[in-house]
Amino acid sequence: MSSMERAEAVTMVEEITVAGRIVRLQYTNLPIYEVHLDPRNQRVQFILSLLGRELTEEEIAEKLWHEDDVKQLYHSIKQNQGLLERIIVRADGTIAEGNCRTVVYRKLYQDEEDERWAKIPASTLPEDITEREIAYILGELHVAGKIEWDAYEQAAYLYGMAHDYSYTVEDLSQHLRKNKAWVNKRLWAYQLMKEQFLKDSTDRKDVYKWSYFEEFYKAFKKKEAAGPWEDRFVRWVRDGKLSKGVQVRDLPKIVANPEALAALEESGYDVAWHVLTEGQPELGAVLYKSIDRTIEKLHDAPASEIRAVRDGDSARIKKLQELQKAINDFADLTGLSLS
């Protein structure tokens, strides 16, 4: 008897349209050990690449359980006393979406020996659905929909759709209701991370350095600008020259300065940033950033503002006098002569 036959009676059927045809999802509660973890899951695939061998289902569950966010999910589901969102299961019982939730349910059942964790709420897909259609549904739910995957999972999804199912950037933009720049930057980032950074990784925590790669293409804005630095960027991340994803935002400024670039290569971000800001204080201090903005605004002041001051607008003149006094007071404190 199949797991589908042993499941509780179907309580609801939902109909959705996928690529022009009606797909019926059956809502059921399935025994937790009669649904099967999917080794094609992105996180599982990375663990497999580290070990260099296939894993049993028990090993997959153990590896997933040791992920920090799965433990957090455990406490969230336990506190809520159930799922907010059903897992999605193929007709043969293999999970299409919800591996981590299933691992949590099994752990709760082991810990509490409570029958409420013995079956997991599921949406069961029909037998004739294709993997391409499943991928389309998951994108609608978790990229375009209100229950979003995290940024890494979204990027992995985009990469899979492009490489496994030949979706173009235009296709993905229309399907997910995102602009092309959004799609492109995540595709570039995931490809660089997967094909250059993770392929030589021996630490499963490297998968959490996604933010570095996402920030990389945001910082350089265009692929052509980022391209010459891709190989070195991978090395900087691997060697710890960049210790936080937010530091990547400053790379365009650092690589444009030969001394700062040399410091990054030799000693890392902190020394490079120090070298850079020694000659450009506006980069490192809010005060000087504000001064730069004020100087720019004064140089570009519209004719209407100039006329207002020239005509004796007292409120505007008072602000200029306050600015002048603040500058003079600061100069006095520092012993600087502005004459």
Instruction: Provide the terminal-to-terminal Cα distance of the chain, rounded to the nearest Å.
Output: 93
Is 323 inside any structural domain? yes
Q: Is the separation of the CB atoms in 73 and 94 below 8 Å? A: no
Q: Is the separation of the CB atoms in 100 and 137 below 8 Å? A: no
Find how far residue 283's CA is from the centre of its chain: 26
Q: Is the separation of the CB atoms in 88 and 98 below 8 Å? A: yes
Is 313 inside any structural domain? yes
User: Of 81, 103, 129, which closes a domain?
Assistant: 129
Q: Is the separation of the CB atoms in 251 and 276 below 8 Å? A: no
Cα distance between residue 197 and residue 206, in whole Å: 9
Name the packing angle between helices 151-164 and 131-142 (round to 10°): 150
Give the 3-state DSSP-derived string for the chain, with helices as H, strands as E and coil as C: CCHHHHCCCCCEEEEEEECCEEEEEEEEEEECCCCECCCCCHHHHHHHHHHCCCCCHHHHHHHHHCCHHHHHHHHHHHHHCCCCCCEEECCCCEEEECHHHHHHHHHHHHHHCCHHHCEEEEEECCCCCCHHHHHHHHHHHHCCCCCCCCHHHHHHHHHHHHHHCCCCHHHHHHHHCCCHHHHHHHHHHHHHHHHHHHHHCCCHHHHHHHHHHHHHHHHHCCHHHHHHHHHHHHHHHHCCCCCCHHHHHHHHHHHCCHHHHHHHHHHCHHHHHHHHHHHCHHHHCHHHHHHHHHHHHHHCCCHHHHHHHHCCCHHHHHHHHHHHHHHHHHHHHHCCCCC
Is 91 inside any structural domain? yes
Cα distance between residue 219 and residue 233, in whole Å: 12
Confidence (pTM): 0.67
What per-residue confidence (pLDDT) applies to 1?
Answer: 43
What per-residue confidence (pLDDT) applies to 283?
Answer: 64
Closest CA to 44 of 76, 74, 75, 66: 66
Is 15 inside any structural domain? yes
Range of the domain at 319: 302-339
User: Of 112, 129, 146, which closes a domain?
Assistant: 129
What per-residue confidence (pLDDT) applies to 145?
Answer: 65
Is 59 inside any structural domain? yes
Is 252 inside any structural domain? no
pLDDT tens series, the chain, 339 aa = 444 554 555 567 888 888 788 888 899 999 999 999 988 776 666 666 665 567 788 888 888 888 878 999 999 999 999 998 899 999 999 999 899 999 999 999 999 989 999 999 999 999 999 999 998 888 887 777 666 677 888 888 899 899 999 999 999 999 889 999 999 999 999 999 989 998 877 777 787 899 999 999 999 999 999 999 999 999 999 999 999 999 999 999 999 999 999 999 999 999 999 898 887 766 656 676 777 788 888 888 888 888 888 989 999 999 899 888 888 888 788 777 877
Cα distance between residue 175 and residue 170, in whole Å: 9
Is 203 inside any structural domain? no
Is 186 inside any structural domain? no
Cα distance between residue 185 and residue 46, in whole Å: 21
Instruction: Domain count for the chain, please give it.
Output: 2
User: Of 74, 98, 129, which closes a domain?
Assistant: 129
What per-residue confidence (pLDDT) applies to 152?
Answer: 82
What per-residue confidence (pLDDT) applies to 42?
Answer: 63
